[in-house]
Structure formats: structure tokens, C-alpha cells
Amino acid sequence: MSVAAEECPQCEQLLDQFVSQTMFKVQREFCPKCSQQTRTTEWTYEFNDDYKIEDFKWGTIEEFNVNLGKKLIEDYVKTWDYDASWLFCIDFLRREEFEFDTHYKYQVRWSIPTRCKPIPRATASIFFTFLLSKVKPKNYPVEVFYVLETNRLIHRTNESRFREEWLKDIIESKTLLISSVDF
């Protein structure tokens, strides 16, 4: 057990809950006897913080177009918690056709311009993908996910909570890299 968990009862409780849920999932996946007995049990994660991820409506496959995608991303990003000094711009990158779906790719570029440095030394990007199925009915919702620059983790919009620290980490790593390069 970590030192932080020993000092904080809430951390200890969350850690115990996480361990028991992980053990349950392992049993359910790998033990045939346990998987039959516990198949109906659902686990939910409880956090002490009152934040609730909003169920954002992305529209249907039939309604979607490139301009609507930009507008929806802008509206969605405005629901995030971040400091007012951050500015962003949204660019449509490309449309990719596949056998069973079409992907629309967008880039949201973030920066913190200041009076002294109106052109920032580094920016952070978040790449959004709208997935429009060719096999589902046209009245089905569009699937949307995003990936942060330098990361591989795919964030589902109605399942993942945005953290401002992600942008700060990207900009900090770029700034460190730039300062280490001699021209």
C-alpha cells in the first residue's frame, strides 16, 4: 500500500474498492464457475468529487456535415473546465472513407497567448474523430472520440472527463524540447 493511502482514509477506501473490483473482473473473465455466478452483478465507480460528465448530444448520421462537426466540437469544448486564458481554434483535417464507415477528423489547437508573447512558443492539439456508420440506420447517433497529441488513449466523449493538466503537460514537454535544441 502506498504512503498516501495510509495517510488518507478516502484514498485507502478507493484503493480497496479498486482492488476488489479488479479481482472481481479477473475472476469473471478467467474463471468459468465465477463468471456464471456473478454475471448479473454490475460495478460502478464512485468518486467523492461531485463532477458529472454531461451526456452531450452529437446529432444523427443523417444530420451530420463538416460545418456542423466544427460547431458541435466548439459547443462540447465549452462544457469543459479550463482557465479562461486558454484559447483554441478548430480545423477540419480530412474525411476518410472505409468499407463500413466514414471518419471525419478535426484538430483543436490550444494555446495561451499573452501580451508579451502573443505568438505562443508551443501549442497542444486534441484530435476529434466523428465516426459515421454506413450500415447503421441514418437516425442513429454519430460516434465521437478524441485523442490528445502525444497520447494513444482514446477518450469517448460521454465517458471521459477532460483535464486541463493534459494540455499543460503537452506544452511543457514541447517547451523543454525546444529549449534543449541549439540552433
Q: What is the pLDDT of residue 115?
A: 86
Q: What is the pLDDT of residue 13?
A: 62
Q: What pLDDT digit, counting tens, does each position of 23-81 carry?
A: 545 445 555 554 444 434 444 444 445 666 677 889 999 999 999 999 999 999 999 98
Q: What is the pLDDT of residue 140?
A: 94
Helix (H) / strand (E) containing 111: strand 101-111
More confident: 1 or 10: 10
Provide the CA 4 distance to its chain's centre, in angstroms.
Answer: 27
Q: What pLDDT digit, counting tens, does each position of 127-163 carry?
A: 999 999 999 999 999 999 999 998 999 999 888 889 9
Cα–Cα–Cα angle for 120, 94, 135, nearest 5°? 140
Count the neighbouring beta carbons within 10 Å of the beta carbon of residue 126.
23
